[in-house]
Amino acid sequence: MAAGAALPVLLSLAACGSVPSEGPLASTIELASDNAQFAYTVVDVDSEVANLLAWYGTSVFEERFGSSAGAAREEIGVGDILTITIYEAGPDGLFSTVERKQTPLQVSVDSSGRIVVPYVGSVQAAGRTTAEVRATINTALLERALEPDATVQITENNSRVVYVNGAVGAPQRVPIATSGNRVLDVIALAGGPQNPAYESYVSLSRGNVEARVLMQTLVDRPSENVFVRPGDRIFVIHDPQTFTALGAVKVPGQIKFAEERISLIEAVGLTGGLADERADATGIFVFRYEDRALVDQILHRPTAVATKGEKWSTEQVPVVYRLNLKDPASYIVAQAFPVRDKDVIYVANASGVEFLKFMTIVGGLREGVGFARDIKRF
């Protein structure tokens, strides 16, 4: 094989993209945004975009389980223990004596939701309030007792409970207080989370509806910390937030958040910074899915730069944010740009690096051709 015969092979390698690379060039990412099979939107990050991202938040628990409408109506349920005290005006009544004018009774709500009260009989209790049951008892005793007056209290709440499990101090059934409890309240009553709020997710199930949010969101946005309802199931999951760094950084890989919030500049710092000898500082990219409503806000700003791929039929839109760190102002913007859980941060290689890799392959093949020729001569 003549040395000159290697040239077509090398050109073919270059044309086919066979030069080893850790990822696409910046120009490739920009062009691929028009790909018909998988279009995505490329957004140039400025201070306005960074601020929109920092302040934007969706309502998950509030939207699916209702806003802060207050505690649910306190209804009696199956399995509850009630204390019923009946007072009478005279000493010789059904429930009174000379020594005392009242008789306390403790009754349990049976599986059919009913209780039995002497001289009253079977009374429906489940699904009703203590005031409603009290009124029924008083009405039934009017013709039997001396000016009867009953009180009804739930002394053991076995039906109005929330089930809290997962990464908490003491998984258990948590009774709901008369005034109502919110999600964070019952988690605290179950021993609290075992891990920081920014590493914990809360899954709430109510009937056939289920949703999951980062616990830190419940702390930061009180409207998401909704009231719980009887039968709710809460599961706390330890799932640390991470981002993945790829391309021309010193320490690529999956990296755990060091605190509850990190900015893009802090994330780049956690990778050890850009690999100076091969990084294209004009091509810092963040890949993520965003809510369609947020993307609409970004792309329809008066100063919007990139509007590629605006053909979305889903609520989650693939977005690539682009930052040019050769512009000093971008460092300020990067401090405000929030990194999210499962983001992919990619630093493009400089085009010159790809050329050097190509020339290295050229040199290697030429040496190989010469070596083969020497063997043949031998």
CA distance 323 to 49: 11
Which pLDDT score is estimated for 342? 94
CA distance 9 to 142: 105
Domains 13-44+241-356 and 61-72+160-238 share a fold: yes
| In the predicted structure, residue 316 carries a pLDDT above the cut 70 | yes
Q: How confident is the model at residue 6 (pLDDT cuts 50, 70, 90)?
A: very low
Task: Pick one of 3.30.1950.10, 3.90.180.10, 3.30.70.270, 3.40.30.10 as the CATH number of 81-156.
Answer: 3.30.1950.10
Least confident of 1-10, 112-121, 162-171, 293-302: 1-10
How much of the chain, in percent, has pLDDT values that exceed 90?
Answer: 57
Which pLDDT score is estimated for 283? 87
CA distance 97 to 224: 54
Contacts for 56 with CB less than 8 Å, ≥ 6 apart: 291, 294, 297
pLDDT tens-digit map of 129-185? 999 999 999 999 998 888 899 999 999 999 999 999 999 999 999 999 888 899 999
**Across 14-28, 68-82, 134-148, which has the greatest mean pLDDT?**
134-148
List the domain boundaries for the chain.
13-44+241-356, 61-72+160-238, 81-156
Which pLDDT score is estimated for 16? 46
pTM (2 d.p.): 0.73
Contacts for 17 with CB less than 8 Å, ≥ 6 apart: none
CATH code of the domain occupying 13-44+241-356: 3.10.560.10
Helix (H, G, I), strand (E, B) or coil at 324: coil
Overall average pLDDT of the 107-128 stretch: 96
Least confident of 88-102, 183-197, 327-341: 88-102
- The answer regarding whether domain 61-72+160-238 maps to CATH 3.10.560.10 reads yes
- Distance of alpha carbon 12 from the chain centroid: 47
Which pLDDT score is estimated for 178? 84
Contacts for 83 with CB less than 8 Å, ≥ 6 apart: 104, 105, 106, 152, 153, 155
CA distance 367 to 373: 10
At position 278, the amino acid (one-letter code) is R
Q: How confident is the model at residue 292 (pLDDT cuts 50, 70, 90)?
A: confident
pLDDT tens-digit map of 236-257? 999 999 999 998 999 999 999 9
Structure tokens at 42: 């490329």
Residue 187: C-alpha distances to residues 192, 231, 355 (Å)? 5, 15, 57
Which pLDDT score is estimated for 282? 87
Q: How confident is the model at residue 14 (pLDDT cuts 50, 70, 90)?
A: very low
Helix (H, G, I), strand (E, B) or coil at 326: coil
| In the predicted structure, residue 377 carries a pLDDT above the cut 50 | no
What are the two backbone dihedrals, phi and then psi, of residue 199, each rounded to the nearest 5 degrees? -115, 5
pLDDT tens-digit map of 31-72? 555 554 557 788 999 999 999 999 888 888 998 998 655 666
| In the predicted structure, residue 127 carries a pLDDT above the cut 60 | yes
Residue among 187, 196, 197, 182 at smallest CA distance from 165: 187
Average pLDDT, the chain: 82
Which pLDDT score is estimated for 38? 59
